[in-house]
Each structure stands twice: as structure tokens, then as C-alpha cells.
Amino acid sequence: MIKVTLKDGAVLEVEKGSSIIEIAKKISEGLARVATCGEVDGEIRDLRYEVMKDCKLNIHTFESSIEGKKAYWHTTSHIMAQAIKRIFPNVKLTIGPSIENGFYYDFDTEKTFTDEDRAKIEEEMKKIIKEDLEIEKFTLSKEEAIKFMQEKEEPYKVELIEELPEGEEISFYKQGEFTDLCAGPHLMSTGKVKAIKLLTSSGAYWRGNENNKMLQRIYGISYPKASQLEEYIQLLEEAKKRDHKKLGKELELFMIAPEGPGFPFFLPKGMVLRNILEDYWRKIHKENGYVEIKTPIILNEELWHRSGHWDHYKENMYTTKIDDVDFGIKPMNCPGGMIVYKSKMHSYKELPIRAGELGLVHRHEKSGELNGLFRVRCFTQDDAHIFCLPEQIEQEIQGVINLVDQVYSKFGFEYTIELSTRPEDSMGSDELWETAEGALAKVLKDLGKEYVLNEGDGAFYGPKIDFHIKDCLGRDWQCGTIQLDFQMPERFDLTYIGEDGEKHRPVMLHRVIFGSIERFIGIITEHFAGAFPVWLAPVQAKILPISEKHLEYTNKLKEELEKVGLRIEIDERNEKIGYKIREAQLEKVPYMLVVGDKEVENQSIGVRSRKDGDIGTMSIDKFTEKIQEEVKSYKI
């Protein structure tokens, strides 16, 4: 017998060699019915996995974890591939992973999958689910696996197997007549999948390399309950309405021109919104002891070698030549910040130095990955670099986290935290990395902040804390980050004069709050569905005169409101007032100010709210006071 310690601390004695699904049945039949995979001593395992020694076991379900969902969605991708092979036998299989929401599978085929094709595939998937085919796992040697896939005429699978290490046992999963190369984990049978929906299809290069063949990719989603699928489809429909690319065009915020793919143009109203964000950023950073700097966009190759970017990040950089010397267009602001720090000698009494920069950076993104303001080739990072004494590290990290709290609350965002540790491609000693990772973990613990450990996803120069905000549709967006860096000060030979009169090495924190101004604008546009709160709205109120005879008073009113800093437009068109109101509603203006005979006579305005409709007649002073209070309090 062996001892299995469950997630709640309970210890279960089972026979050596019991599978995870057998252990789940011992706990409860209900758990076994919904189990999707297991986690044995921190390793994700298939339900068929046999436990051979004492261990800690966590049994995942679709509802309990992302790992549980991944196994469910990965199984559904195999069901889709099986359905396609039944309908289109000559299609060649490539890969079909689970993703953040659902799954996809890439196929080599000359045809383009249409809506009608997806409907047929979906129907065949439902048949496979109804057949409740047992899913069986088996392994072959590398040589046997290559031969097996060659016989099935699956060249992409052969290519994948050939790259695996010699002597490794290679796993396959079989369901009915369909077999696929796969590491798993998978559900026990196809009947465990319930509600399915194929969403879209698109082209995708094999292995994401544009020099390879273009494949056909189909995305899908599945859930244990039809009601969950319906809820997700409704969420997608709502997301379409909130699409920042659509709203950006309708509200005249920004545009992407064919002359500059990935390089956004900000229009006048978009610039108003952008300047509000940047002014707010400057205000709160000044209050928190930051100074602002500006560094050049183009710096020479030697600098990027010194920083490590030329060796670790060059494929993402744009380069140019000036006077026959190679230069890099900056993908990050930090090397420029080093040069600013080095421009003079510093004393320990000056530290910490908190230097903020709204710095424009350029990164080479593939054309297929560009997406409105979410994925662009140039963007403005709200960077800051904090140079501090070793004993100041924790208080500075706490200060940044407090600033994150302050900023995100203004937009109504909640957030989760991820701590990312040393990646394979990194600089520096084990000792420095352990010190840096320990410092970040300690601050989070001291502040009582829960976090998820993300092993191996740190920056090449140091570990980091990432902040994931959650929008009104429940979607996560990674925005803020804090990176603790012992490497850059070393590479740039940064120093300060200590209390002992000797030179010492400062510690450096890289941090952003918005992440990127452009991307943050995209996020808040979708979060608010373009209906920005008064303090953010490019146009805070629109004056709607009922007829031309009211224009004199209307212009005077606009002048008075603009004098106190409000952003006002007039709809002077010779249209009916109902039409003007509907248009202003579509433009998502917070307030509509109706002006007719009565308002002119009483020197007042008829106020309509975007949210509440007609809220009555007000004096100009009363309306001004109301709107200024909303701006001052950052009312959401």
C-alpha cells in the first residue's frame, strides 16, 4: 500500500499501481465522473497514470483549474481532428493544442474551411461524442513511432517525432479508428465532452514561420454544460460589440493605415483621451516622488550589446545605419535610463532615484500577430527605473504595488498577481537570482498579496511581478510589471558613493503601470464599451440647439463651459432634436445639453445623461459643479 496526500491534507491509502481515475473513484464516484487529469507531486498527469509511491495528489476538474480545462479542451481538439479525417480523409494533421479559451487544430489541406464545412465537422463531432469511444494511451519507440506515422501518411507527425531525443518512449492516444501523436493528458472517453462549438477558421503558417507552408486552423470551444457554452457565446457577442478596433473607428479615436501596418495613428479625440491618461500619469508620479526623463529612440549597437538586447532580443529589434555605424531603434527604454543615471556621480543620500519616462519603443512583430492597439509595432511604455540601495528594495517594491492599487482602482479594475522566475536564456549568477526572487516573494507575502508562481518566465535580466487586470467581461490583461534587476547595473557599471566614501553598485527596478499607453487605451475602450466616464471622455458634453435661433446662446454656453476646463461640442446641424440626441448617444457622449426657447429665456440648460436619460433643467453653475465633481472624484 502507498499513501496519497490529497489537496485538503487528507491521506488516503491505496494499492501501489492504482491509477488516478481509480483513486478518484475511491474518493467519490461524483469526482471520478468530472475528473479531467491529475497532478502528482506538482506534475500534470493523465487519469490513466499509475501511482507507484507515496505522493501528493490533486485531482483536477473542468471547474477547479485551468489544467482541468486544458485536458478537456485538448480532448475536444482530437475529436475535431477525428471528425475532419472522417469527412476529408486526405487532410494532413499537424498540431492541436488547448489555448487560453478553448482549442485549435492546424490542418494541411488545399481547401479553405467554410462556415458550411464547420457545421458539417461539428455534426460529426457530436456523433463521435455520442459514440462514447474509449480513449486509450500507448507508447512506441522512436523508430516504431516514425514508421507508424509514415504508414498513416502523416508527414508533420513524422517531422515532430524525428526531433525528439533518442531512446524516448513516444506516446499516442487512440479513439476508435483515430490515433494521434500526443503527450496528453486526455479524458477517459469522447462521451465525457458535452457542449461544443467551432468558432472560426483562418490561415496559419506551420510552426508560425512565414517561410513554411500555410495551413488551415480551426478554433473551437467546449463545456460540460450547454448553459456554459451559451453564456460563452453571449460573451463573444458582447466582446464583438466592444471591439476597440470597431469603436476606435466609430468614435474617431485612432486608425491603422495601410501605409503603416502596426503603427497606429491617433486622431484628435484619441489624442484627448491619450493626453488625459498621460497627464494623470504625470500627476500621480510627481506625487510619489518620481522625476521625468526622455531618452532617444535610436542608440548605437555598442549600447545594445552592453545591455544584452543585441544578443537576447535582436530578432525583435529594428536596426539602421548612420555614418556606416549600426544603430538599434530602441525596443525598451532601460538602456537610455542607465545612461541618464551615469551622466553624474550619485551619493547614497540621493537614493532612491525614481526616473519615469513615457518612452516610445519599436518592436518587430509579425504581420499575422498585429491586432489593433493590442499588438502594434510602436508603442509608448509608461516606464520608470528606480535606482536604490539594497536595503531599500522591499520598500520600493511596496511603493510600486501601492501605486498599482491607486491607478487600477481609478478605472474600476481588480487584478491578480504572477511571480515569474529565472528563464533558461538569462544573465547572472544563481546567487543573485535567488536573492532577487526571494525579495519579490517576501514583499508579496508581507503585503498579504496572493500570487501565482510562473516558473521560468522572468526577463533575461531578472525575475518579475506581473499584474493581470480583469475587465468587465472577466478577461485578463497583463499590464503592470515590476522587474528586479541586479544585472544591468553591473553591465553598465552603475555606482554610487556610499556612507563609507567608497563606490557601490545600486539595485535597479524596472516597472510599468499601464504597460503601454496604446494597449491600455484599447483595453479601457472595450472595458467601457466606448462609453468613457466623464473624466476620460474626449467630449464630456454636447450642446444640442433645437433650432438656429438658439445658436447665439449655445455659443455663449460653450464658451462659459470651456472656460472652466470642460470639453464641449455643438451639434449645429439643421436636424430634429430627437435625431441629434440619438446621434449623441451613439457617440457615447456622457451629457447632452438641450437648448430651446425656455432655456434661453431662463439662462439654463436641459440636461440629458447618457446613462439615465432626461435629468431635468439646471442652471449653468449647477451643471458645471456636477460635472466638475465627477471629474475630480474620477467617478466611474
Which pLDDT does position 179 carry in this prediction?
95
The domains of the chain are located at: 2-61, 67-240, 254-527, 541-632
Phi-psi region of 384 (alpha: psi -120 to 50; beta: other; left: phi over 0): beta
- Nearest of 154, 489, 481 to residue 308 by alpha carbon: 489
Which pLDDT does position 384 carry in this prediction?
95
Residue 368, pLDDT > 80, answer no
Which pLDDT does position 270 carry in this prediction?
97
Determine the topology of domain 541-632 in CATH.
Answer: Rossmann fold (3.40.50)
**Residue 458 corresponds to which amino acid?**
G
Pairing verdict, β 414-420 and 452-454: parallel
Kindly report, residue by residue over 240-260, the tens digit of the pLDDT: 999 999 999 999 999 999 999
Q: Write the CATH number of the domain with boundaries 67-240.
A: 3.30.980.10
Residue 436, pLDDT > 90, answer no
Residue of 157, 186, 464, 558 marked catalytic: 464
Structure-block grid coordinates of residue 240:
464583438
Using DSSP's 3-state secondary structure scheme, residue 328 falls into: strand
Q: Are 277 and 520 in contact (CB under 8 A)?
A: yes
Name the pTM for this structure. Answer: 0.83
CA atoms of 171 and 278, how far apart (whole Å): 53
Q: Are 270 and 244 in contact (CB under 8 A)?
A: no
| Strands in 109-213 per DSSP E | 135-140, 170-175, 178-181, 195-205
Task: Find out whether the peptide bond into 463 is cis, omega within 30 degrees of 0.
Answer: no
CA atoms of 368 and 24, how far apart (whole Å): 43
pLDDT band at 172 (very low <50, low <70, confident <90, very high): very high
CA atoms of 211 and 79, how far apart (whole Å): 29
Which pLDDT does position 11 carry in this prediction?
87
CA atoms of 57 and 49, how far apart (whole Å): 12
H/E stretch holding 334: helix 334-342
Q: Are 372 and 523 in contact (CB under 8 A)?
A: no
Structure-block grid coordinates of residue 141:
519507440
Residue 427, pLDDT > 80, answer no
Place of cell 532617444: 296
Structure-block grid coordinates of residue 271:
489624442
Task: Please tell me which residue, 608 or 168, carries the higher pLDDT value.
Answer: 608
Q: Which CATH superfamily is domain 254-527 in?
A: Bira Bifunctional Protein; Domain 2 (3.30.930.10)
Q: Which CATH architecture has domain 2-61?
A: Roll (3.10)
Residue 461, pLDDT > 80, answer no
Q: Is 610 a catalytic residue?
A: no
Kindly report, residue by residue over 208-218, the tens digit of the pLDDT: 877 889 999 99
Residue of 242, 274, 285, 363 marked catalytic: 363
CA atoms of 70 and 75, how far apart (whole Å): 8
CA atoms of 68 and 59, how far apart (whole Å): 9
Pairing verdict, β 378-388 and 353-362: antiparallel
Give the chain's end-to-end CA distance (angstroms, integer).
Answer: 59
CA atoms of 264 and 253, how far apart (whole Å): 10
Cβ-based neighbours of 221, under 8 Å, separated by 6 or more = 73, 101, 102, 103, 196, 197, 199, 229, 232
Kindly report, residue by residue over 1-28, the tens digit of the pLDDT: 888 888 888 888 889 999 999 999 999 9
CA atoms of 366 and 446, how far apart (whole Å): 41
pLDDT band at 484 (very low <50, low <70, confident <90, very high): confident
Strand partners, 351: none
Q: How many CB atoms lie within 10 A of CB 14?
A: 16
Backbone angles phi, psi at 60, to 5 degrees: -90, 145
Using DSSP's 3-state secondary structure scheme, residue 3 falls into: strand
Using DSSP's 3-state secondary structure scheme, residue 615 falls into: strand
Phi-psi region of 519 (alpha: psi -120 to 50; beta: other; left: phi over 0): alpha
Q: How many CB atoms lie within 10 A of CB 443?
A: 21
Residue 207, pLDDT > 90, answer no
Residue of 216, 381, 392, 483 marked catalytic: 381
CA atoms of 291 and 457, how far apart (whole Å): 30
How big, in percent rounded to 5, are the helix, strand and coil portions of the chain? 40, 30, 30
Mean of per-residue pLDDT scores for the chain = 92
Q: Is 78 a catalytic residue?
A: no
Above pLDDT 70, what percent of the chain?
100
Q: Are 135 and 171 in contact (CB under 8 A)?
A: no
Residue of 118, 157, 192, 385 marked catalytic: 385
- Nearest of 522, 636, 590, 585 to residue 247 by alpha carbon: 522
Q: Are 215 and 156 in contact (CB under 8 A)?
A: no
Residue 425, pLDDT > 80, answer no
Kindly report, residue by residue over 351-362, the tens digit of the pLDDT: 999 999 999 999
Q: Is 383 a catalytic residue?
A: yes
Cβ-based neighbours of 451, under 8 Å, separated by 6 or more = 416, 417, 418, 419, 444, 465
Residue 460, pLDDT > 80, answer no
Kindly report, residue by residue over 518-552, the tens digit of the pLDDT: 999 999 999 999 999 999 999 999 999 999 899 99
Kindly report, residue by residue over 30-88, the tens digit of the pLDDT: 999 999 999 999 899 999 999 999 999 999 999 988 999 999 999 999 999 999 999 99
Residue of 74, 85, 217, 334 marked catalytic: 334
CA atoms of 538 and 137, how far apart (whole Å): 58
Residue of 106, 117, 180, 383 marked catalytic: 383
Q: Are 163 and 143 in contact (CB under 8 A)?
A: no
CA atoms of 150 and 430, how far apart (whole Å): 45
Using DSSP's 3-state secondary structure scheme, residue 483 falls into: strand
pLDDT band at 122 (very low <50, low <70, confident <90, very high): very high
Q: Is 362 a catalytic residue?
A: no
Which pLDDT does position 366 carry in this prediction?
83
Which pLDDT does position 439 carry in this prediction?
86
Kindly report, residue by residue over 144-159, the tens digit of the pLDDT: 999 999 999 999 999 9
| Strands in 130-224 per DSSP E | 135-140, 170-175, 178-181, 195-205, 214-223
Which pLDDT does position 312 carry in this prediction?
78
Q: Is 464 a catalytic residue?
A: yes
Kindly report, residue by residue over 262-310, the tens digit of the pLDDT: 999 999 999 999 999 999 999 999 999 999 999 999 999 999 988 888 8
Residue 556, pLDDT > 80, answer yes
Q: Is 334 a catalytic residue?
A: yes
Residue of 285, 510, 580, 610 marked catalytic: 510
Structure-block grid coordinates of residue 321:
545605419
